[in-house]
Chain A
Amino acid sequence: DAGVIQSPRHEVTEMGQEVTLRCKPISGHNSLFWYRQTMMRGLELLIYFNNNVPIDDSGMPEDRFSAKMPNASFSTLKIQPSEPRDSAVYFCASQRRWNTEAFFGQGTRLTVV
């Protein structure tokens, strides 16, 4: 299995632009998570899906952030408009079922200038 696949690996964008991050979870995994990691705040949960349905989006910082999971093999996290404080590494992770470990993708390093 290729693991969780994220794209792009790096993204540099100007403030105000729309950014879309993509994730392909491991096949057969029922849950998908989006995390954001910064030095100051560590690894924070943004949103998670179970069977493609958003379960908890309380970690999404603002309305500028949105996430979708149109099918079991694809999810996006969109930031519109982006701001410099959104600069972070964004991780996607997937989990086979409840009470098992989550597997992380390689992350997308986002820099908003």
Chain B
Amino acid sequence: EDKVVQSPLSLVVHEGDTVTLNCSYEVTNFRSLLWYKQEKKAPTFLFMLTSSGIEKKSGRLSSILDKKELSSILNITATQTGDSAIYLCGSASNSGYALNFGKGTSLLVTP
């Protein structure tokens, strides 16, 4: 059975800190890994990663996939209180369309 595990489950940091969120996966016939940010309600898309070693970047957020280690990290530099959210990692396989998600990392950034 496909599995996605995120760590840590929760994290509290101060504004300005840099954080690294981890995602490991066991997926038969892996296709891609996606990161989402969930604030109050709907998860919103951040990144899709398909190739190992290629960093995706958007402002202070960046992510990279390591297919050898079956993992991905999401980095947030110079954190702001607006970064407080649940960050979800989901895997997709070539066997289907749907994303299989981990339980998420709850990030709280304090002023």
Task: Using CB atoms and an 8 Å cutoff, list the residues of chain A in contact with chain B.
Answer: 4, 31, 33, 35, 41-45, 48, 50, 55-56, 91, 95, 98-107
Complex alpha-carbon distance, A41 and B100, angstroms = 12
Pair B45/A106 contact, Cβ less than 8 Å: no
What is the interface of chain B mostly: helix, strand, loop, or mixed? strand
Binding site for A on B (CB under 8 A): 31-32, 34, 36, 41-45, 48, 50, 88, 90, 92, 96-104
What residue of chain A has the Cβ atom nearest to residue B41's Cβ? A106
Q: Majority SS of interface residues in chain A?
A: strand
Q: Is the CB of B43 within 8 A of A98?
A: no
Instruction: Look across to chain A and name the residue whose beta carbon is closest to the beta carbon of B31.
Output: A99
Q: Which 6 A-B pairs have the closest CB atoms?
A: A42-B103, A104-B42, A43-B101, A101-B45, A106-B41, A48-B98
Contacts A33-B98, A56-B98, A98-B97 known; 19 new A-B pairs at CB < 8 A: A35-B101, A42-B102, A42-B104, A43-B104, A44-B101, A55-B97, A56-B96, A91-B42, A91-B43, A95-B97, A99-B31, A99-B32, A99-B50, A99-B92, A100-B48, A102-B99, A103-B45, A104-B42, A106-B42
